[in-house]
Amino acid sequence: MREILLLKLGEIVLKGLNRGMFEQRLVKNLYWRLREVGEFEIYCLQSTIYVEPKSEDVDMDAAVDAVSRVFGIVSICRAAECEKDMDIILQTAKEFLYDRLEAASTFKVDAKRADKKFPLKSPQIMIEIGSALHDAHPHLKVDVEKPELRVKIEVRDHKAYVHANPIPGAGGMPVGINGKAALLLSGGIDSPVAGYMIAKRGVSLHGIHFFSYPYTSERAKKKVLELAEKLTKYNGRLRVSMVPFTQIQEAIRDHCREDMFTLIMRRFMMRISERVARMNDCRALITGESLGQVASQTMEAMGVTGAVCTLPVLRPVVGMDKEEIVVIARKIDTFETSIQPYEDCCTVFTPKHPKTKPRLYDVEAEEKKLPVDELVEEAIAAIEVITLD
């Protein structure tokens, strides 16, 4: 009896003539994610991805953990593979599911006969297997509505498979299938969640972080890299451009109106981020802005800061409140890192009374006091790129 994983596809099955391209990308992502677990044969048949270990000593618990964060999969089935013979299928079910059958109080058997040459139809398979399992575990009661254990028998073209109670997958679309975008990654709660949500839509991420040493510490920089590393569990390999921002912030402080510090700072961030995005073949910018959360995230302020960009700016958490964002942050294990007390450059030189409804021409007038192009070029020239796997 060999255990394999059957991975069920989500919205990929709705694709038309280019569906194969989505499946190929998903298989490629799975090979990458499982490379440290062991050697596997991975292929797609009948809207299912088969993940078969090439040796008996592979840690299947680790394999499940790895694929549970691969976008494009809606459920994961730990299945026992066997020959297409009813006696063998029944024996496999008894052995493979013994502990779970003993622990459950109610059960149901579902069957799917993809191989139409198999002598029994799906209802007959369900009745025969269900009756035999009930005889072997007489404490079990049948519950066709909400069974505690849902046993599934799949008779496919080459083999039969036994599994129960699938594990939820990450959903979404395979990372990379929809290109690449640049994520403005701060040390806060929102931006890692924004990156996760866009990666779930099949977009590969490139991180951009602005730091202002000595106003921000090396520990703050390390915190951001820890957040980026957590995102690699979903995105795969992630490159982060670390942008020195001290000189720009000091110039803004010295020459511009205090109530516009944050607006002008964010416009510089967007200019630099767009340049970095284009240098790394990114087609959009991603921010963690949430409407009305802070003074720089009013509609007027976002309009002013976004006015310097020609690339699309994606704001996946813009309509979410803080608690909704925190729920996702906890789910993807970034929350505890995000709340560490190491501030990022957005908190440097924060005005006492920031402008919440700025006018574009007022902000542009203040920027004329600065050598904008020169400051941008100097920051880009000093970027350090860090690659995380």
List per-residue pLDDT tens for the chain, 389 residues long. Answer: 799 999 999 889 888 888 999 999 999 999 999 999 999 999 998 889 999 999 989 999 999 999 999 999 999 999 999 999 999 999 999 999 999 999 999 999 999 999 999 999 999 999 999 999 999 999 999 999 999 999 999 999 889 999 999 999 999 999 999 999 999 999 899 999 999 999 999 999 999 999 988 888 888 889 999 999 999 999 999 999 999 999 999 999 999 998 999 999 999 999 999 999 999 999 999 999 999 888 778 999 999 999 999 999 999 999 999 999 999 999 999 999 999 887 777 776 777 788 889 999 999 999 999 999 999 999 999 999 999 98
> Are 149 and 282 in the same domain?
no
pTM assigned to the model: 0.91
Q: Are residues 103 and 204 in the same domain?
A: no
Shared-domain flag, residues 101 and 130: yes
Q: Of 122, 138, 171, which residue is a domain's last?
A: 171
- The answer to whether residues 222 and 348 belong to one domain is yes
Instruction: Supply the CATH number for residue 31's domain.
Output: 3.30.2130.30
CATH number at residue 371: 3.40.50.620
C-alpha to C-alpha distances, 34 to 27, 51, 365, nearest whole angstrom: 11, 10, 54
pLDDT score for 350: 77
Do 14 and 118 fall within a single domain? yes
Q: What is the pLDDT of residue 226?
A: 96
Are 298 and 350 members of one domain? yes
Domain closes at, from 122, 153, 171? 171
Last residue of a domain, one of 146, 171, 196: 171
What confidence score (pLDDT) does residue 355 get? 83
Q: Are 237 and 116 part of one and the same domain?
A: no
pLDDT for the residue numbered 69:
95
The pLDDT assigned to 161 comes to 97
Please state, as a whole number, how many other Cβ atoms lie within 10 Å of the Cβ of residue 330. Answer: 13
Residues 271 and 163 in one domain: no
What's the confidence (pLDDT) of residue 305?
94
Count how many domains the chain has.
2
Do 98 and 233 sit in the same domain of this protein? no
Q: What is the pLDDT of residue 173?
A: 96
Q: Are residues 102 and 136 in the same domain?
A: yes
SS (H, E, C) the chain: CEEEEEEEECHHHHCCCCHHHHHHHHHHHHHHHHCCCCCEEEEEECCEEEEEECCCCCCHHHHHHHHCCCCCEEEEEEEEEECCCHHHHHHHHHHHCHHHHHHCCEEEEEEEECCCCCCCCHHHHHHHHHHHHHHHCCCCEECCCCCCEEEEEEECCCCEEEEECCEEEEECECCCCCCEEEEECCCCCHHHHHHHHHHCECCEEEEEEEECCCCCCHHHHHHHHHHHHHHHHHHCCEEEEEEECHHHHHHHHHHCCHHHHHHHHHHHHHHHHHHHHHHCCCCCEECCCCCCCCHHHCHHHHHHHHCCCCCCEECCCCCCCHHHHHHHHHHCCCHHHHCCCCCCHHHCCCCCCCCCCCCHHHHHHHHCCCCHHHHHHHHHHCCEEEEEC
Full residue range of the structural domain in which residue 15 is found:
2-171
Residues 117 and 199 in one domain: no
Clarify whether residues 195 and 162 are in a common domain: no
